[in-house]
Structure 1
Amino acid sequence: MATNTASSNGNENKSAAPFDVAIIGGGLIGLHVALGLLNRNIPVTVYEQASEIQEIGAGIGLTFGNEECMGVLDPRIPAAMNEVGFRTTRGIGLVNASNPEEDVTLRPQDKLFDMYIRERGRILCQRSQLMSQLLKLLPSECIKLGKRLDDIKRDEDSITLTFTDGTEVKTDAVIGCDGIKSRVRYILLGEENPASVPHYCNESAYRCLADMTKVAPILGNYATGMAAWVGHGAHIITYPVGNNKFLNVAAFVRDASGSWPDYHKQTVQASKTEIMEAFSKFSPTVRQLVDQLPDEQSRWGLFDTLDYPLQTYAYGPMALAGDAAHGSSPHHGLGAGMGVEDALVLTTVLEKVAATLLEGGPNALSHKSAAISSAFKAYDSVRRERSQYLVASSRRQGILVKLEDPEIDSAEKFMNDTDERVEKIYSFDLKLTEKQSIEEYARELQKSGKF
């Protein structure tokens, strides 16, 4: 079993928890959970299928509330994030770029945007840079690479993980943080359950970074903040990253085919020509921007869990978190932040498990699986409704920004529809969430009849 615990977070004199946790998946959420547990002296090991961690994806957005969660998980995380993050309190301007004759850069300064989503504050950064910062904080012995999960077996006392390299590991708790096409979720639910896999959103994306020196003259005032360029059947999101050296570009296109060529591949090879065709009837500004993108592209299939949502995130002493639990389309840009909230709740309830077992004596230790299961039930109770709301709202937003809802025929209707949902997503009360998590754990522990 794992023996890794925090060594430099001020918990050296605190007794290690008498149970260990295996995290499947070494992405952003897996690392946040691991750092939070280590900071509470809970032994943890991360198992990552890749031989080296090369986090895919370009830019992500995190709210100031997410930053607060990070500080509770491990005080070093916010500082690490701010090394690579770009902090903004500006809103998201939406440009109706569907007129192929209008050069939107000629608009007066106060008329640049047709609509404006009020910003509550966020931090923008490159996913790969944030991953690099988090890995610096995690002791190297806490992560095992080249570990592709094959199967999970549970008995009365422990859980056995089998990997495709033939190795086995016994652990007390498992948290699946292995992304939207989660192997953990697939094993727990079984192949006959449609919720065991995500489903195609009939939409694909092209993501890349553009050299700011080349695109700033094209975008003018639009280059300095976040902008959404909306049109019929497609839209583009742009914002600066990498200390303003690059422009993050995410181009989204509705896929009329209704199917993705290969479920097992997240991306397929593509070209800039495809993007140019999709945006051929957009404003000249958008067409010129697309012309500056790299010739070789990857087309990403967008999947989510909306059509077949999970009925629970807790499966005894096993749980799902992040995209593995509530994979979302990216139209709010807050999927990673929702996973950070998951990490906060998981570490909160597992810290309570440690206290239960350490203070309860030998009898308590004999029921550690029941305590962990109670913690994960509490986590599910606190997190499922909120995180699944994001999935539904993001799908809805993807329809609006492609001008696909005929009932939303004015900027006012667009803003009313959007602002209500965005406000709900940003409204996160950390202290209340911690309180609810602890109370739910106490209730579930009592219901278990073991304590």
Structure 2
Amino acid sequence: MPDQPIHIAIIGGSLGGCSLALGLHLLKRQDITFDVFEAWSFSERGAGVGVHPNGQNSLRELGLDVDALLARAGAFREKTTEAVVAYGEHEGEYLMELPPMGIQCVLRKTLLDEMVKLLPEERLHANKKLVTVEEGERMVLQFEDGTSYEADAVVGCDGLRSTVRGFILGKDDPAVPPKFTGYWDARAFMMAEDSREAWGDDIVQYDNPREYYKVGEGCTMLFASAPKGHLGGVVVAGAAGPEEMDMVDNSKKPLTREFLEKKLSGWGKPYVKGVIDSLLNPDCGPGILFGEYESQDAPTWCKDRMCIMGDAAHAALPWMGQGFSMAAEDAAIMTALLGAVSSRGHVEQAFRAFDKQRRGPGGRPDFVVKKGAQVAALCAGQKGLDPSTALQGLDHMPDLFVHLWEGDIKKEIQSAVDAFEGFKSS
């Protein structure tokens, strides 16, 4: 037990930040308290999320009844992920087929709503945009609304454009801003019954919920085929051409029919019009073309009693679907490390241990960043549409996913705790 109570400020109240908050809450330690500060409201603005087996196991390590949580949020189990050639000589041939491993698909908003219900209301602070952190015996956080808060440690869970990342690295460090990956996407979501009418019953199969890529040259459609009564979706994504390279500086811009018809002009399939109509329907999606960004390599994820995790530390391309599951792993490891702290003075060593376990080559987040680029190139059609040549020079796709799904979170936690003990004694 710490010699003095330790107060943790969690910056960011999305899925990653609330996962860490739940972990600390379920420690049931009177001497470790937390507060979550969210710049906006505790409501997700994204769409669906896949909770992969490694993410589910990490949430269990926090002490959550994961199946009950996901059921309350309206999740369904996905049977498989498939990627097939959309048209041409090799139409229908497989580029990738993943084994069924129990991925649960759920709306980000409903999952976050259910997580927030499990947290003490008095620990959740909305509309708190962090401006500065003054370091001293205690850390003083100043917010845009003029309020302040004192803490013993700060964990930044504030996403791709993290403010805390800038405090750790220095606001002018070139590794602070994310970098454009050269990919874009557009998204739409609707009930399974409506999506089947729009895209066809060969794509939306109620008894076969799956992620289903139709791959064309430089562009792909990813269908989230859902069972009846659930929300299905489609993502059209691709490699940026010269006209999209302005997304280096602009992460999103209005989506137009002209853009979509140009990108999909060679497909010649009946479902294309239904997909375009869905993407431009304001009842189905935001009507925005998003650039896909990832974190730059950083020399550290911590400084003194500040640390970052989740997308604030290691945002990756979304093509492996591991964003939330990696954040859940982070939360499980961070909770265990903070639970092992017996003195305020040991918080820094806990953060150094987290940094050692998760950052850099060999870490699981780095694996997602590096291997996700292979998945993107394949599924965006950049490797061509002939499976016999497209797969050359790539890792065996199912092995990459299974490696992540079968990750041993208990081993990860023990390795981090061992590093913490080593830092304490050095």
TM-score interval, normalised by the smaller of the two chains: 0.7 to 0.9
Deviation larger for 24-33 or 58-67: 58-67
The equivalent residue for 1:437 is 416
For structure 2, the 5+ residue unaligned runs are none
Query: How many Å apart are 1:244 and its aligned residue?
Result: 4.3
1:419 aligned onto 2:398: yes
The equivalent residue for 1:6 is none
Amino acid at match of 1:130: L
Contact 1:96 1:114 in 2 (8 A): yes
Contact 1:317 1:373 in 2 (8 A): yes
Contact 2:97 2:398 in 1 (8 A): no
For structure 1, the 5+ residue unaligned runs are 1-13, 105-110, 358-367
Q: Where does 1:154-193 land on structure 2 (aligned, <5 Å)?
A: 154-155=135-136, 157-193=137-173
Cα distance in 1 for residues equivalent to 2:256 and 2:311 = 28
> Per the alignment, in what secondary structure is the counterpart of residue 320 of structure 2?
coil
Query: How many Å apart are 1:183 and its aligned residue?
Result: 0.9
Cα distance in 2 for residues equivalent to 1:95 and 1:36 = 40
Cα 1:16–1:35 change in 2 (3 A) is farther
Contact 2:18 2:116 in 1 (8 A): yes
The equivalent residue for 2:324 is 336
Q: Where does 1:192-231 land on structure 2 (aligned, <5 Å)?
A: 192-217=172-197, 218-224=199-205, 225-231=210-216
The equivalent residue for 2:125 is 144
Contact 1:117 1:415 in 2 (8 A): no
Q: 2:348 aligns with which of 373, 385, 404?
A: 373
1:320 aligned onto 2:299: no
Cα 1:284–1:21 change in 2 (3 A) is same
1:94-121 per-residue CA deviation (whole Å, 9 max, x = no partner) reads: 120143x99x7xxxxxx68554123433
Cα distance in 1 for residues equivalent to 2:145 and 2:158 = 18
Cα 1:253–1:343 change in 2 (3 A) is same
Q: Where does 1:9-48 land on structure 2 (aligned, <5 Å)?
A: 18-40=5-27, 41=29, 42-48=32-38
Query: How many Å apart are 1:389 and its aligned residue?
Result: 1.6
Query: How many Å apart are 1:430 and its aligned residue?
Result: 2.1
1:254 aligned onto 2:239: yes
Cα distance in 2 for residues equivalent to 1:122 and 1:162 = 40
Cα 1:331–1:252 change in 2 (3 A) is same
Cα distance in 2 for residues equivalent to 1:294 and 1:135 = 30
Query: How many Å apart are 1:415 and its aligned residue?
Result: 7.6
Q: Where does 1:353-372 land on structure 2 (aligned, <5 Å)?
A: 353=341, 356-357=342-343, 368=344, 370-372=345-347
Amino acid at match of 2:356: S
> Per the alignment, in what secondary structure is the counterpart of residue 138 of structure 1?
coil
Over the matched positions of the two proteins, sequence identity in percent amounts to: 23
Cα distance in 2 for residues equivalent to 1:246 and 1:227 = 15
> Per the alignment, in what secondary structure is the counterpart of residue 428 of structure 1?
coil
Cα distance in 2 for residues equivalent to 1:439 and 1:284 = 56
Contact 2:95 2:391 in 1 (8 A): no
Using structure 1 for the length normalisation, give the TM-score.
Answer: 0.83
Query: How many Å apart are 1:402 and its aligned residue?
Result: 1.8
Cα distance in 2 for residues equivalent to 1:89 and 1:35 = 26
Amino acid at match of 2:69: A
1:246-280 per-residue CA deviation (whole Å, 9 max, x = no partner) reads: 321111122223634584x6432223443233122
Query: How many Å apart are 1:80 and its aligned residue?
Result: 1.6
Amino acid at match of 1:176: G
Cα 1:409–1:16 change in 2 (3 A) is farther
Cα 1:245–1:426 change in 2 (3 A) is closer
Cα distance in 2 for residues equivalent to 1:86 and 1:142 = 27
Cα 1:408–1:294 change in 2 (3 A) is closer
Cα distance in 2 for residues equivalent to 1:375 and 1:153 = 20
> Per the alignment, in what secondary structure is the counterpart of residue 391 of structure 1?
helix
The equivalent residue for 2:42 is 53
Cα distance in 2 for residues equivalent to 1:412 and 1:244 = 37
Q: 1:303 aligns with which of 293, 300, 303?
A: 293
Cα distance in 2 for residues equivalent to 1:32 and 1:245 = 24
The equivalent residue for 1:403 is 381
Query: How many Å apart are 1:192 and its aligned residue?
Result: 2.7
Cα distance in 2 for residues equivalent to 1:251 and 1:19 = 46
Using structure 2 for the length normalisation, give the TM-score.
Answer: 0.88
The equivalent residue for 1:74 is 63
Cα distance in 1 for residues equivalent to 2:2 and 2:355 = 27
The equivalent residue for 2:106 is 125
Amino acid at match of 2:108: R
The equivalent residue for 2:364 is 386
Amino acid at match of 1:223: V
> Per the alignment, in what secondary structure is the counterpart of residue 241 of structure 2?
coil
1:297-353 per-residue CA deviation (whole Å, 9 max, x = no partner) reads: 111121102xx3122222121110100000111000111100000000000000000
Cα distance in 2 for residues equivalent to 1:48 and 1:71 = 24
